[in-house]
A and B are shown apart, each in its own frame.
Chain A
């Protein structure tokens, strides 16, 4: 039975942590900064008639760097505690309590940023763009859960990820998703990861952050479209367990592969399984594998032939998909702001668009020639996207290795 007490404890702990961290005095603004802040770009009007005096504006202090390390420490502590609770203590209630704390801290207090899921893009961008310096806390948020997964399984998903926590909390009447459907739906996560890596590598967009469905909830404001998207996910999540985690999460794709290799992992029973079948329908995420019956001999023969055919088709499939994606490179390049700007300027130049946008007006105001934006566009749309397709193949080579290891270790895909 879920006790109020555990929830109260987690909220209280969260408030204590926030209280401690917010009691650290913020760095005062330097005099130079203050002087600069006082120079106004748009001077206020003089209220000569009424004599009204404008109140002095307050400038919020920037967040101190120490808080980044606090976040990293909290993450480490949460991961460690989650691993302990899952593997050693084996307490559902404690895991739930920790996930509520994570939801409040990493979700509402830190407003969903930095998150490990979005950190993929920062890491990828830093690899492909030498001018981009990835912050330390982003590296920690990306690596720590991976390390813990390698040793302890998906304990990050269990009780630390705020996106998973909010979905877990709204799960009320779980409906089982057929395994064949789940297998097909999971393809979206791979496609999403590939697209996120591609667009991050080319510096086009951080689509994971842009389409984070729960960010509007965490920040209590945001785009209506994203709010509606998050609402839909939560509504679906009432019946289907963690839909974003299972079918869309790009970070989950990486965690899936790593958890196949984990040294320690979750086991349903702390002892030998007695096949009582009581746990068969206990998992709302369809993650319990039932014992298999003997496969018929003719099925083995068919499977061998099918396997041989698939192995032969493997390079063809890879090439076919790479070709298909490369045909869409022109359209995909439109996610890059420079390419979009060049499009817009060309449309304005040829008279197909009469109005200007903020971006095009700003470009015209720089006095640059249009050829400067055009020269950038081919450099981005061709060289950056095609090698990025190749770089995504590097990524898939890595997942190939892990998947092959998983197959060898006796798991199905």
Chain B
């Protein structure tokens, strides 16, 4: 563009002389309109006619002696008017038709969609007939409008063609002979035009430059921006499944009896032991019993139940009903969200996906899980994969598998068999040397997979009914064999790393349910009967232990430099995460709690056996 503009300016600065009237070499479109204005052209034509002798001299001379008006002028004029009016009417009809297609038809289509959703929950013959009738009406109207549009386009084309022809004839019939005006001051005119042309080009350059710079400064997507860390608790134990939050201003004082510090409390319709998950201003839970499986969405600010979604029973006909243990229930696994949709799994093997407005996106059944106490592994996500650790039966049954579902459509992307009996742990996704690993625990293996389902490494170090989930801290993977030991494994191996990558193992006792938590230097274990143990991450040396004299099912959380431990009776112990035991506070909720809490933006979301609580400071 710079070159073109410079050349144009140069061109307007070069002074050329011209003697005759010439067609612009570059700009002339060779339409031939100027031919008939030249008297020399008519001389040539008359000579040609004489040479040919066709006797058409009189007719051709019409173009020389152009009449000011023609007897056909009125006809042409009114034809043009009538055809223009006709075309405008057709355009009007086309616009109305277009409006109907774009504005009115989608409203009916939306009504049809609502009816279709309604019939899923409430099958009804009357509704069925209504849907069919509306669907047929919509299709008929659509086809009719399309046909009308097609035919009217031809009518419009015809009308416009008649208008153009008539108008051109009218213009021709009323053509006036050329009357050149008195000669202007040619010199001044030339200079003025050259100055104006240069100015226009310069202004054009400025306008184009400004336009380019304007568009250059428009914001574009910043790819260096990482997904938000604050404001979300998207899965079991938060981001990464580690039970850690960088949240500040987390309350340390509330009372369930006086409602002090409790911002709101909402009843959860169906029971479940799954933990709340949070994304922005939405809190999600699931609940289920033998007949129903539901997902709930609460408003994080007010606690209002915004919607509930039903996950249908999609077990194959004839499948035996699942009967999980009473302590596990039908809704033990915690949900997961990616900020666009929420995913839930239940003890029946039913999996459901909902968008944030509550609309069901997909649902499927993975088969009734063969789990002694009831299926309880929480969901995890890696990018667009929904990870389901589906451990079942005995190891020799070969039923256990790690399944990756496509989060958007629900189909199985891959599944990998596991040599594991039923377990109740949840997978986590970690990043080691810029590559991601899915860490899983079971009896006896801790197994790491890559995101395509291929096994990376395994370590034979666990046993019994494994329920505590693994964590990753200080460059080590920590796994727990219930009641027995805590194992620290380096995750950079390949194949069987039992003999090479187990850094240390502390066998002075371990939890059977609660997962550990660590700040990278210290790791904290919490047993079901209330023993809190602090170990060093580097070598597993026990620094201290403290009997809290309460039962705990919820896993501990590390918020800043504080441990938050929620007992089964709803008492929150706030302990300093340090090399010496120091209790900072105790807060009572007065309701039994089994689920691990969520910590987001200075608030704590606790699921009791009956209600969901939001603890926070009013400011």
Contacts and interface: CB of A to CB of B under 8 A. Distances in A.
A196 interface: no
A328 B220 CA distance: 11
Interface centre among B37, B167, B196, B232 (most CB of A within 10 A): B37
Interface string A13-41: 00000000000000000000000000000
Given A184-B201, A365-B409, A310 B10 contact: yes
A2 B172 contact: yes
A173 B29 contact: no
A59 interface: no
Contacts of B12: 183, 412-413
B62 A1 contact: yes
B33 A220 contact: no
Interface in A310-334: 310-311, 313-314, 316-322, 324-325, 327-328, 330-332, 334
A54 interface: no
A308 to B, nearest CB: 9
Contact size range, A: 35 or more
Interface string B153-174: 1100100000011011101110
Nearest to B183: A277
Interface string A259-292: 1101001111111111111111111111111111
A314 B9 CA distance: 10
Interface in B1-36: 1-36
Contacts of B204: 184, 187
B362 to A, nearest CB: 12
Interface stretch (B185-193, B245-253, B514-522): B185-193
Interface stretch (A88-96, A121-129, A134-142): A88-96
B321 interface: no
Contact of A303 (B14, B33, B223): B14
Contacts of B153: 220-221
A278 B98 contact: no
A296 B216 contact: no
Contacts of B193: 178-180
A280 B21 contact: yes
A259 B26 contact: yes
Interface residues of B, number: 105
Nearest to B154: A220
B2 A321 contact: yes
A116 interface: no
A330 B212 CA distance: 12
B530 to A, nearest CB: 38
B279 A95 contact: no
Interface centre among A266, A294, A313 (most CB of B within 10 A): A266
Interface stretch (A60-68, A70-78, A152-160, A206-214): A152-160
Please report whether the interface of chain A is mostly helix, strand, loop or mixed according to DSSP.
Answer: helix
Nearest to B212: A324
B190 A350 contact: no
Nearest to B156: A220
Contacts, number: 360
B30 A154 contact: yes
A325 B4 CA distance: 14
Nearest to A92: B32
Interface string A363-379: 01101011000100100
A160 to B, nearest CB: 10
A284 to B, nearest CB: 7
Given A158-B31, A180-B193, A180-B197, A346 B223 contact: yes
A214 B332 CA distance: 62
Contacts of B340: 348, 351, 353-356
A324 B280 contact: no
Given A260-B25, A346-B221, A299 B15 contact: yes
B93 interface: no
B167 A403 contact: no
Contacts of B226: 350
B30 A412 contact: no
Contact of B451 (A168, A220, A369, A397): A369
B390 to A, nearest CB: 19
Contacts of A294: 17, 187
B141 to A, nearest CB: 18
Contacts of A410: 16
Given A169-B168, A291-B18, A413-B7, A369 B383 contact: yes
16 contacts: A7-B165, A164-B29, A180-B200, A221-B150, A268-B38, A278-B37, A281-B178, A283-B34, A290-B18, A310-B10, A328-B215, A331-B220, A348-B339, A350-B226, A396-B4, A411-B11
Given A90-B44, A259-B28, A273-B20, 4 more contacts: A179-B193, A187-B205, A287-B28, A306-B13
The 9 lowest CB-CB distance pairs between A and B, nearest first, are A413-B11, A321-B2, A184-B200, A180-B196, A317-B2, A351-B339, A293-B186, A158-B30, A273-B20
Interface of A: 1-2, 4, 7, 82, 85-86, 90-92, 95, 153-155, 157-159, 164, 168-170, 172-173, 178-181, 183-184, 187, 190-191, 194, 217, 220-221, 224, 242, 245-246, 256-257, 259-260, 262, 265-296, 299-300, 303, 306-307, 310-311, 313-314, 316-322, 324-325, 327-328, 330-332, 334, 342-343, 346-351, 353-356, 361, 364-365, 367, 369-370, 374, 377, 393, 396-397, 399-400, 403-404, 406-407, 410-413
